[in-house]
Structure 1
Amino acid sequence: MNKITIFLKKTLKALLWIIISVVLLIIIVALLLQVPSIQTKVVNYATSYVSNKTHTKVELKKISITFPKSVLIEGLYLEDLKKDTLLYAGELKINLAFRDLFDHHIHISSVGLENISLKVDRSENDSLFNYNFLLTAFSDSTKKDEPTTKEKSSWIVSVDDVSLENIRIKYNDQYGGTNFKGSLKNISLKMNELDLANSVYKIDELLVDNLSADILITSGHISDKNSESVLPKIIADKIEIKNTKLIYGDSINKQSLIADLNRFKLKDGAVDLQKQTVGVNNISLSKSNIRFNTTAKVINDSIVGAVDPANTNNWVVAVKDIDLENNAFAYMVMNKPEIKKVFDADHLDYKKVTLKAKDLSYSTSKTEVEIKKFNAIDQNGFAITKLETKFSMDEHSVTANKLKIKTRNSSIDGNFDLHYSSLKSLKDSIQFMVVNADMKKVSVTNSDITYFSPDLAKQAFFKNTKNVTTVSGNIKGPINNLSGENVTIRTGVNTIAKTDFKIAGLPNIQTATFSFPNLILNSGKTDIVMMAGPAIPKSIELPEIISMKINFEGQIKAFETTMGMSSSYGTARVSAKIDKNENFRSKVDITAFDLGRLLKNKEMFGPVTLTASTTGRGFDKKTIKATVQAHASQIYLNKYSYHALDLDGAIAGQQFEGKISLDDPNAAFDFDGLVNLNPKQEQYKFNFNLKGADLQKLNITKDDIRIGLVA
């Protein structure tokens, strides 16, 4: 930015110096002579004088002076010492307020330039520009004492209106490291104030048409002198730029900016580069293309934290209204490989970008904006069709109120608010971040999720790219004490989860405490297969419909819960309690649950109705100790329904000791004893009384065989 500013100031000063020098010379002559023929002779003398003084070629085709204010110059040609063109002016028309000259005021009411060619350069090893010979030729050679303080010129220069047509400028500064090449079809400029001494430029109206500019920054010589110049302050009532192409290249930082501006408008704006402030009432851009290319840099630990105070970003920006219509923006990190068909933060290329926003405010401490309308399509065809929100972000919070986002397949409608002590604290203290998410309706398609997180596509749930998941409800509180109200999640064909909840102790899931007092979950075979995929054994067939009511309190490994389940296979009710020492207590009630349909074997298995309870400790099959009581009023096995099966015993590892009895009309037995299958402890000690069994009715044999046994 400093190089560009210096370049602009030097170019402007060079132009003004050349023009003013010639104009002043002509003005003096014009005051003396008003006869055209005499004017021409004097001009010829003047050009000869300048040529002889500078030892360069100077030509002037025609001059016309209309006293007291108009000067018209045609065909001004000036060479540099290398006999290259320094300046050619096809036509230069200036209207001056001559009387102001007596007050040391050069007041140019209007200036018009047509067919101008300016070439400024300096070589890599020479700090002097090619126009320096003019300064040397006309400078006072008398040695003067250096002033102790800087004295400002007593002359005041002001310009009201400027009109430029067909302008070509080449600025090749190899020594300083700036190369500029530009051409212009038309510029119309109306100034309110031009204060070169204080670098204040007040523009009434600036209209630019067909500007082409190419800027390249290279590693030139760095001046040892500290620049004390004041950076410009530009105030503009109206700026309009059309059909303009700008190319900016930085070979030092390996960056480039290419901008094709179809139409750019600005109203009531002010930029103060010295104070780093921008204020604009209205800014608009339409049908334009802007592309920024950069390279990823490797950060050297030795330079981390070494910040140049001169480059400190303290910008304050305020824009009342922003209107972007049908533009294209691209951001490319050129030394990173592009990832196709997914979101790639290093390669962003958006088309059809439309934005209507108001009250944009940016500073290093806070950013605010109200987005009324936004839509865009990226290089992969992913489209944001709608975005509305009132956004705010500062050092301690991020807020998106009245957020409405739509893509082709997903949508978000809600209010979202995050609070934190600082952005740095999120790395180590995320548990203290406060969340307030009022989700009216969040509807997300799997294809949109995997577009931003492609690794999720490997999971079974996301293989169905068309699946839609919707979430509504309110989630609030710090991460380590989170609560949810009226939270509803829908996904798949008919999966619905509704609940309130409280979770304390996140983000550590293993030690966090969960409270789900009223979780209602409805799902079925199709959705469970979609979610779990290959984790479901092929030997089972899930129910088409499953409904559950769950109450859960506790941690992952220490909790108390009750669950009621109904399904197309039957019903069940489970209650369980587990503590941190693996002590557990549970009770199960199953009513007419079709085990045959579950195990895909209706010939062998069928409905089961039973109640069971357990109390014990441990979950390792080698060390578990528990007591078990169970009563089965119905067990369908091999096409026969057994009734009245009871079990009462104790389990220790792989050992069972207790009683089992069956009192069915066609089969009855009593078992009382011990069976130990623990390795190297095998033992069998029991009494078994088979009171009777009708093997034909039990579908064990086709013949009428009845047996009894005591062992």
Structure 2
Amino acid sequence: MPLAISRILYALLGLLLLIILLVGGVVLFLQFPAGQDFAARQAEKYLRGKLKTEVQIAKFRTDFKHAISLDGVYLEDQKGDTLLSVGHLGVDLDIWALTKSQINVKSLELNDGRVAIKRTEPDSISNYDFIVNAFATGDTTTTTPADTTGAGFKYDIGDLRLTNVLLTYNDEVDGMNVRTKVGELAVNMDEVDVDGSTYRIDQAALRNTSIGIVQTKVPPDTPADTAALELEFGLNRARLNNVSLTYKNEPSAQFISTRVGEADITADRIDLVNSRVDLNTLRLRNTTFAYAQNENVPVEQRVVNPAEAVRDLNKSVENATGQEASWVVTLKQSDIEGVEVAFDNFNQPRQRTAVRGMDYNHLRFTGLALNTQNLFYSENRTTVRINQLAGKEQSGFAVTSAQADVVFDSVETRLDNLDLVTPHTRIRRTLAMQYKSLDAIADDIPNLGIEGDLRNTRLGFRDILYLAPDLASTAPLTQALTNQYW
């Protein structure tokens, strides 16, 4: 071998050895806390220069195999306000699996976090746009289509836990203000496939959490999302403790307030694409629901419109399956106690009647309890066994207890094994009504069939007046306060 070639080879080998030693030295250095602190300082320096704003990373730790930990992360927007802060972020991630297109996350924990998103008028600029712009490529004149022919990532996601996380979103352009405080969220995943839109949850628990939404402007018209439903969602168990939601829409005059003291739901099957939901148990305690609206605002102008949401969901199901959605919902057992429900048409005055009765523009129920078995709901038929129903309305009307086997379908409504008890009334045995169709009841009274077995039944005049107080001047109800029963 010529001497010149030998010298070149020796030089290349020496350079390669030097590179290996340098890389090995850097990797070894980064294994120690001092090296990882040095990496954090360099990352801070780079991001400050790149983003032109304050960036802090108090602590960075990793074993370069699984564990990644960040503490004291802070990022300001360009106005000097907090955009992101993280007390602690810990991820148990198989780093080397990323080279095999696998995302294996055993656990992810986020404590003491805050995210504050803003969009301002009149420029419609978000306070995070500067990050996108800083890392955008210089040449934006051509766009290379993304390669979607290769296999996507495979996911193995384990536990997710968030504690003391505050999320705020203030959109001056669309008039949307959202504030969410998460006390504790714990999720254990069974299966995740982002490419296949599959998300199956084993257990989820949410505690000490509040969500507040205020809409100050009419949102822009957007076409309903009725694309073919591809989401495959599953949930075995969900628990809520001390969770509240408030929603206020000023233009459409709607207000919703909900607080769940305790809820526990278990499910056997949730299959949205095939319109099937099979729940096992529902337990609800110490919960309030309140809804208020301006009655004069047309239904189609209300942002919260459940009927419209259901129509859009049905259309998405139809686009996915090629056939009309036909929902079936089952619930084996419900156990509900200590529930309050309120409804107000706040533009309507409180009713004034000769006797106190229910004001259907201003309803408030307290102490509601409901215990059911074997609920089955479909488009044409609903059946359920009611073991207990009780509650009181603010007018004084109360149900002490109620039991019945209920059938409600397109041609009949039936209550068997009925036992309804109020302070003034007891209705027992059987009540049923037959009709050709629900839509035609009002126009087909002569053909309406009534069936009843009401032995040992008493009906209190006072209960009738609770339900229809305007009848107080109608005989024989004028005797309601002195003669309680028929």
- In structure 2, what is the Cα distance between the partners aligned to 1:132 and 1:324? 47
Q: Name the CA shift for 1:354/1:444 in 2 (closer, same or farther; >3 Å).
A: same
* Structural mapping, 1:435-584, within 5 Å: 435-465=450-480, 466-469=482-485, 491=486
Alpha-carbon offset, residue 141 of structure 1: 4.0
Query: Cα–Cα, structure 1 residues 386 and 319, in superposed 2: closer, same or farther, change >3 Å?
Result: same
Structure 2 residue 148 is matched with structure 1 residue 132: no
Give 1:179's aligned amino acid.
N
Q: Distance in 1 between matches of 2:390 and 2:109?
A: 43
What secondary structure does 1:443 align onto?
coil
For 2:194 and 2:131, locate their aligned partners in 1 and report how far apart those are by CA, in whole Å: 21
- Which residue of the other structure, out of 152, 168, 189, is the alignment partner of 1:191? 189
Q: In the alignment, is the contact (CA less than 8 A) between 2:214 and 2:249 conserved in 1?
A: yes
2:235 is matched with which residue?
236
What is aligned with 1:65? 62
Identify if the C-alpha distance between structure 1 residues 400 and 310 changes in structure 2 by more than 3 Å, giving closer, same or farther.
same
1:273, CA displacement in angstroms?
6.0
1:208-227 deviations in Å (ceiling 9; x for gaps): 22101112344233457978
1:679 — aligned with what?
none
Cα gap change, 1:61 to 1:307, in 2 (>3 Å): closer
Matches within 5 A, 1:251-330: 251-268=250-267, 277-297=276-296, 310=312, 316-330=328-342
Q: What pairs up with 1:115-264 in 2 under 5 angstroms? A: 115-126=112-123, 129-143=126-140, 144-145=142-143, 147=145, 154-217=152-215, 218-223=217-222, 232-264=231-263
User: Does the aligned pair in 1 maintain the 2:189–2:201 contact within 8 Å?
Assistant: yes
| 335, 352, 355: which one aligns with 2:367 | 352
CA–CA distance in structure 2, aligned partners of residues 260 and 133 of structure 1: 38
1:346 Cα offset (Å)? 2.4
In structure 1, distance between residues paired with 2:289 and 2:150: 41
TM superposition score normalised by structure 2 = 0.81
8 Å CA contact 1:268–1:282 kept in 2: the answer is yes
Q: Deviations over 1:666-691 (max 9, x none)?
A: xxxxxxxxxxxxxxxxxxxxxxxxxx
8 Å contact from structure 2 (residues 357, 466) kept in 1: yes
CA contact (8 A) 1:166 1:183 kept: yes
Q: What is the CA-CA distance between 1:133 and the residue it aligns to? A: 2.7
Match of 1:576 in 2: none
| CA distance 1:150–1:214, shift in 2 (3 Å) | farther
Contact 1:30/1:65 (8 A) holds in 2: no
Letter in 2 for 1:335: N
Structure 1 residues 385, 231: CA separation in 2 closer, same or farther (over 3 Å shift)?
farther
- State the secondary structure of the residue aligned to 1:428: coil
Q: TM-score, normalised by structure 1?
A: 0.57
Offset at residue 129 of structure 1 (A): 3.5
Q: Distance in 2 between matches of 1:128 and 1:157?
A: 34
Which amino acid letter does the alignment assign opposite residue 363 of structure 2? L
Does residue 424 (structure 1) correspond to residue 439 (structure 2)? The answer is yes
- What code does the residue aligned with 2:252 have? N
Equivalent in the alignment of 2:346: 334
Q: CA 1:397 to 1:151, structure 2 compared with 1: closer, same or farther past 3 Å?
A: farther
Instruction: Choose 371-380 or 318-327, whichever is displaced more.
Output: 318-327
Contact 1:112 1:163 (C-alpha < 8 Å) held by counterparts: yes
The alpha-carbon deviation at position 96 of structure 1 amounts to 0.7
| C-alpha distance in structure 2 between counterparts of 1:167 and 1:445, whole Å | 54
Distance in 1 separating the partners of 2:484 and 2:177: 55
Deviation (angstroms), 1:283: 1.1
Say whether residues 1:41 and 2:38 are aligned partners: yes
Query: What RMSD, in angstroms, separates the aligned Cα atoms of the two structures?
Result: 3.1
Alignment partner of 1:391 is 2:406: yes
Change (3 A) 1:180 1:33: same
Name the structure with the higher helix share: 2
Instruction: Decide whether aligned partners of structure 1 residues 176 and 274 sit closer, same or farther in structure 2, where only a CA change above 3 A counts.
Output: farther
> How many pairs does the alignment contain?
438
Which residue identity is paired with 1:338?
Answer: R
SS at match of 1:401: strand
RCO greater where, 1 or 2, for CA within 8 Å and sep 6 or more?
Answer: 2
DSSP-derived class of the 2:259 partner: strand
Shift of 1:73: 0.9
Is 2:407 aligned against 1:408? Answer: no
1:322 to partner: Cα distance: 1.2
Q: Distance in 1 between matches of 2:405 and 2:335?
A: 16
Identity %: 26
Opposite residue 310 of structure 1, the aligned amino acid is D
More strand, by proportion: 1
Distance 2:330 2:384 in 1: 10
> Where in structure 2 are there 5+ consecutive unaligned residues?
1-25, 301-306, 316-324
Q: Do the aligned partners of 1:152 and 1:197 also contact (CA within 8 Å) in 2?
A: no
The Cα offsets for residues 107-141 of structure 1, whole Å up to 9 and x where unpaired, read as: 22111111111111223555553323323322344
For 1:121 and 1:274, the matched residues in 2 are separated by: 35
Maintained 8 Å contact 2:345/2:361: yes
Residue equivalent to 1:51: 48
Which of the numbers 367, 374, 380 marks the counterpart of 2:389? 374
> How far off its partner does 1:352 sit?
0.8
- Structure possessing the higher radius of gyration over alpha carbons: 1
Alpha-carbon offset, residue 365 of structure 1: 3.0
CA distance in 2 between partners of 1:246 and 1:431 (Å):
47
Gaps (5+ residues) in structure 1? 1-28, 470-490, 492-711
CA distance in 1 between counterparts of 2:228 and 2:138 reads: 26
* SS of corresponding position for 1:431: helix
